Structures are given as C-alpha cells and as structure tokens.
Amino acid sequence: MKRIAILISGGGSNMVALVRSMTGDHPGRPVLVLSNDPEAGGLKKAAEMGIATAAIDHRPFRGDRAAFEAALLEPLLAAGPDIICLAGFMRILTPAFIARFEGRMLNIHPSLLPKYPGLHTHQRALDAGDTEAGCTTHEVTQDLDAGPILGQARVPILPGDTADTLAARVLVQEHILYPATLRRFAAGDRSPIFLP
C-alpha cells in the first residue's frame, strides 16, 4: 500500500476527491493533508474524513522559502509518504525540495498544458479565444508546470463563459482526472490518461 500525502492551500475539493477514491483495491491510502495556510478550508474537510492534518503558515517565513520548506518537511517526513499530491498548493517549491521528491510528486493544473502554465489559466484561455480548456495532471519537475504529463481532460468553452464558469466546469473534470491519475500512478503505471 502506498502512503499518500496531499498538499493544499485552499478549499481542497481535489483533495476530497483523492481521499474518497482511496478505498477498496486502490493501491494508495491518505496519510496526511498538509497546508501552508492554517485557515485553508480543506484542513477541516480532511479532519472530518479522519485524515491527519498539519499546517505550516508560510507568512512568518517572509519569502525564506528554504526555511519554510524545512518546517514543512517535519510533518511531511514524519508521515513517511511514498507519493505526494499537490492539490491546489499555491506555493512555489525550491529545486532542493522538488529534487527530494522527484518521481513521486504529482500536481494538477487547470489548463491543457503546455498551454498556460502559472496563474489565471481560465482568463488566458478566454482571452486567446480558445474553444476548449481543461486540466492536466503531471509529475512535478524543476520546470514549473512542465513535468511529464500523466493525464488530461478537456472541456468545451461555451459562449458567455467567464473565468468563473469555466473554472467550475474544469473543476468537475479535475475531480475525475486526479483520482484516475493517482490510482494508475500508485500502481506503478506512468502512462497518461486522456479523458473523455
């Protein structure tokens, strides 16, 4: 059984989808939900599901990423994770942190990578006049939002869409894609999944 740690910064809806998926013959089990924001809504949801939680507030570290990550590593290493899932974790990680977990750290990003790495993905897709958007799961490497792709799901962009309506439509697919990706990855299969 693979031990799965999930890093969040916000509401944690992807985290909830991942936790709910890890039952039965799933090769993983959640061991920790960790946040950089003690107020992150996902922490309460994780605790209600019986998952261990921890929070390391990044703000007192004032941009000293190495010191923040040293603090983050304490609960993380104590949980002994085999795989780390970034699920709406909105802090940039240092090369040293990434190197430590390379090959066993996943992320979900709300665009069809390689399009629109970084922030404001939905507005950028709308501004570009794209006819479809989506989400991507990938391995985390030193290049931001550019590691090997593990899955993609596409959604149409509809007339009248705003960044918010598009984000909501993509999020529905994120909740399908990320659990499907983790299940496959935890079983040792890195071949990508393309939905629908």
CB 102 to ligand GAR: min, Å: 18
Contact 55, 38 (CB under 8 A): yes
* 88 sits near ligand GAR (criterion: CB under 6 A): yes
58 given a catalytic annotation: no
d(CA 77, CA 58): 18
d(CA 120, CA 69): 25
Residues within window 90-149 making contact with ligand GAR, judged by CB under 6 A: 108-110, 135
Considering beta carbons, is residue 1 or 172 the nearer one to ligand GAR? 172
d(CA 123, CA 4): 32
* 179 sits near ligand GAR (criterion: CB under 6 A): no
Considering beta carbons, is residue 32 or 77 the nearer one to ligand GAR? 32
* 10 sits near ligand GAR (criterion: CB under 6 A): yes
Instruction: Indicate which residue of 26, 58, 109, 122 is catalytic.
Output: 109
Query: Hey, which residues are catalytic here?
Result: 109
